A and B are shown apart, each in its own frame.
Chain A
């Protein structure tokens, strides 16, 4: 337990040391957020509610998206896959403790740093300047915090699965590039999934992409129960899937040495 806590802290500190990247990232999020805000204000000029969302819901979506961007599409997306390809990953399997948990905890340390330095400041500033729909009670805010952390966990779990493709093929990046556009749309990063046609929306709502962005948005805008339950269910499912993949991969691991 102490070892895992140390890993969590190490991950947190590692990510916090990139100051310049943090400033550039915050600026990028702020810019896209401002443009998206203008788009939604213009869209809602003549309408109060569309597909169950009003302008406050839409603006909350915008700023949760900007806050979570670097958590979901972490800049270190391919580190695991590269370690697998170079063979460094074998050291992971030799260390004491559970390899999956160790990776998860270290990654969570890094994403928690992003949550603290990007997500929370972005959401706080936006909520002071714009009519966002954020929980007004401490309990509600705690649920939102839990939902953001769960989004970070699912983000690691999915990245782990995509990265593990490197166990089977060195062409993992081409494969991912072809899938990425679909993930990008289905996770709600293009527009809220609420605007999809009903059959598509139903399909997407049952996918593991919902916990990444749409679930925290729903927790923020008031539909906390179902959204949080979905996130927890996916964390458990992806935990099993991740361990299964790791077990299969370890059995057929070939180290490309040099």
Chain B
């Protein structure tokens, strides 16, 4: 009889007798298992607890591959492995591997192979909470950069010579400022700031806030790192491409400042996630790159009464404002009541960006947050700052609440965060099948210079800059799936074509990256 291998990620405590029982097999003469436990020390430091963050989509695929490799390599009957995620206490079982086979030798060897490969290859990070109140993210995937929690028998003497960093030393230079002092530093430690978008703006903002000692920093970001992010997203390294950015960012910020709590929110900013996050944090930095989310965060600022520091850039220019619901300066909608139609104003993927521009503005966002926390003057709650990084022409323009503003005016028309329902003509790559896709002609609306990033040789190219719904460059009378970099321009084009009466026109959410990923998976 043959049994299937099974690799799982569990948020619950492991039921080890049940796991072992599940591997009972009459053809097997041997069973071995391995248990990895949370121990109370690592590298000479007292550990109180651990948080495991697992990037599940990748971990499940890679874990299943490891088990199958081991089964073929050692000829065992079946292997089962489970890795925990979430918060673990001392003594909890973090990982369990069980192998059944005909004889003991291959069972031992397969078990050893699986646990070694799991520790080296799985996208799993752990945050160690130390007895002294500090914490550190350890990437389990890169043993060279972190610590191993299995015995490696080298006496781990490598880090004992390092001088201990104390909080007092860390903040010594800024505490010296009369505007900060010990009181100010305590206020920073008590503050909770949420960074929405860990990209070109969020990376420098995060570094500055972490270094200044903001006690709790949340990272809300659902995306994974791409090579084209690295020139401006300075929290990450080239070796992290493909990893979830929220976790990689938390890892880097905790490494910079072990005395702060960095929280991972690997999710989208939407009507489901924002209410709880606005309750959890004091200040929100809008480091996003699209109008839909900027307007959503503007509305959330007013609805939930928390300040939102907003920056946006365009090539070498940027703008910065702080939306404080209690201020007479108003909000983003007081200036521009609604976002412009998608595609009218380019984003970074379309028009390009040099890293220093978001670098400057992300740093300014951190400065605004610190000013708010410390009660320093000059917060941009009644002004909009615009700056051209080439000429250094800067303007600080006074703004006032608009009585007709749809969210913060005298008679608001917006009373809740907008739910972005998937419109009937938007398709999600997760719902695609090869059969469904075969029905469509794929039209790539990206500009010529964007195509190399996620090539789609299957698509007809018809750049959005030349798009005319009245006379499209492609046959709109047949089923068409429109694709761009993100799904914004393609949705705009699909709307326009449907307004012209074409019925079988769809836009792909997630754009060329999502479709390329789909083709890649379908080919495997």
A, B assembled together: no
Q: Interface of B with A (CB < 8 Å)?
A: none
